[in-house]
Amino acid sequence: MGFSSLFAGGALKIIKHPSKQLRADLLQACLLPAPKGTSYANYARCVHQILQGLNNMQLWLRIPLVKVDDDSTDVKSDHLVDSWDLWNSFRLLCEHHSQLSIAIDVLSTLPSPNALGRWFGESVRAAIFSTDCFLTNSRGYPCLSKRHQKLITGLFNHSIQVVLSGKPLHNVSKGSADLPSGLNKNSSDGAQSHPLRCYLDYIAFLYQRMDPLPEQERIELGYRDFLQAPLQPLMDNLESQTYETFEKDRVKYIQYQRAIVKALKDRVADENASSITTVLMVVGAGRGPLVRAALQAGEETGRKLKVYAVEKNPNAVVTLHSLVKMEGWERIVTIISCDMRYWDASEKADILVSELLGSFGDNELSPECLDGAQRFLKQDGISIPSSYTSFIQPITASKLYNDVKAHKDVSHFETAYVVKLHNVARLSPPQPVFTFTHPNWTPDGSNQRYKKLAFEIPNDTGAALVHGFAGYFDATLYGDVHLGIEPSTATPNMFSWFAIFFPLRTPICVRPGSPVEVHFWRCCSPHKVWYEWCVTSPSQSPLHNCNGRSYWVGL
């Protein structure tokens, strides 16, 4: 191959093939050749044996990024199979080992966008671009097609290293003035004469012109693909740091204020604004951001308010008292230090406001809390939020699966996690699961739910592995004011919620045209609420979390 060149995260390196043997403990990874043909069990066995004795080094298996469409005519006969199938068979033989990763060989033609998307949920560490992939622009410089450019942007966004290989096919004079605009012509490492320098310059140009990460994304970088246990808001009192994080989410409270404004205007006509006082109760008031939003809504609309702030956390109540005194709200706001389910209100509310939603909508027991609190809401009273719906979608999430698998027990596979999803492939659009509406005046209404869903994976995706399901919610606060994290309708720039992840004990391989059939239950007992889930097609999975044996939320 001669020389290979590496560009990663904006840092440019020229690497010659070593003439001396390197110590294995100093290597980041060892690049393995692609499997040949269709029989590679012995190869996988040898690799698996090596993996058992590795410490920190990874093995990167080269996989050709083969176009699987019917019009694929430029791919060698050895690679007519879907390259994802090759990878999947190999990693299954190696038991999904976390130190076995992928270096994809990018060819001059690319699979469909859906087929490409699968790889962002796999453990891809490098993408090898041959000089054969490059086109020539009008000035004689190498360039890439729009689809290859988009792929490189996706690779950089997922911290995947880009490797250049092959012989230089473009004869570009050194120091030419025709370099792309914004590119540095002078190399500080003296590599200007490198045969692949013009290709490296072009990759660097693509990197430099990428849009910077939004501020919120930069803040959340450390949370990407990190498994967190969901909150237990009734069993545990939240810490001050948790409150402080949530309170910084201005977008959420702006939406709540908009909803309260609309509710106040509908509740009290303009001509009665000075004579009627609206009783508004904030249940689960925390340290007061919803109280502030309610009072600002009252000021905006000119409506008179009497506010009850109900909070069970004694530490938050101390902060609430300080806030009320500091802001001079003593004549408007009454603080109730009590669990909303057990408080006996002296009067009934016109508007009931809460922020009890979890990543899956109902997973922090909003239905149970609001059912207990609605007894002090007037029959024609307004609940904010008025309804919320949970959503799920099947995903490929190799890193999350390996992180759960590392615990080596069943209980972690039967637990739902809060995750800032990043290195995942979303295989099908989300579908609604459970919906709750408030107030709920149905006598003897149950909060138990069951839903069966079927997801169609687009045919051009090819085969894929489902490691679990991503969960989201969308809530209607009031009228047309909504709040949520379901990707197609997500509230922009809001960070109070990450998605929830329901793992599968054994990943399910899905073939084109085979629907993924999944069953979800929301189960309730006098003391806890839990979810159970299973897949019944294209293959059967065990029932996860039977009777809430591994994961539940305490009442």
Catalytic residues: 355, 364
Please give the distance of CA 30 from its chain centroid, rounded to a whole number.
Answer: 30
Tell which residue, 183, 160, 158, 151, has the closest CA to residue 67. 151
Please give the distance of CA 387 from its chain centroid, rounded to a whole number.
Answer: 23
Number of other CB atoms surrounding residue 89 within 10 Å: 16
Residue with tokens 């490059």: 134
Residue with tokens 């201005």: 250
Taking the C-alpha atoms of residue 401 and residue 413, their distance in angstroms, rounded to an integer, is 9
Pair 219, 226: CB distance under 8 Å: no
Paired sense of beta strands 100-106 and 528-537, if any: unpaired
Tell which residue, 481, 223, 520, 260, has the closest CA to residue 394. 520
Question: In the chain, how many H helices and how many E strands?
Answer: 12, 25
Helix then strand then coil, % of the chain, to nearest 5? 30, 30, 40
Taking the C-alpha atoms of residue 433 and residue 470, their distance in angstroms, rounded to an integer, is 12
In sequence order, what are the beta bridge partners of 7? 12, 162
Q: What angle do CA 268, 270, 275 make, to 5 degrees?
A: 65
87-90: long-range pairs with CB below 8 Å, 24+: 87/61, 87/63, 87/122, 88/463, 88/465, 88/509, 89/40, 90/35, 90/40, 90/43, 90/44, 90/47, 90/61
Q: What are φ and ψ of residue 270, in 5° steps?
A: -55, -40
367-370: long-range pairs with CB below 8 Å, 24+: 367/436, 367/440, 367/447, 368/341, 368/447, 368/524, 368/529, 368/555, 369/234, 369/283, 369/284, 369/340, 369/341, 370/283, 370/438, 370/439, 370/440
Q: What are φ and ψ of residue 342, in 5° steps?
A: -120, 5
In sequence order, what are the beta bridge partners of 31? 60
In sequence order, what are the beta bridge partners of 243? none
Please give the distance of CA 468 from its chain centroid, rounded to a whole number.
Answer: 12
At 345, list the tokens: 């209100």
Pair 477, 256: CB distance under 8 Å: yes
Taking the C-alpha atoms of residue 502 and residue 469, their distance in angstroms, rounded to an integer, is 5
**Residue 174, amino acid:** K
- Non-local (6+) Cβ contacts of 458 within 8 A are 114, 428, 512
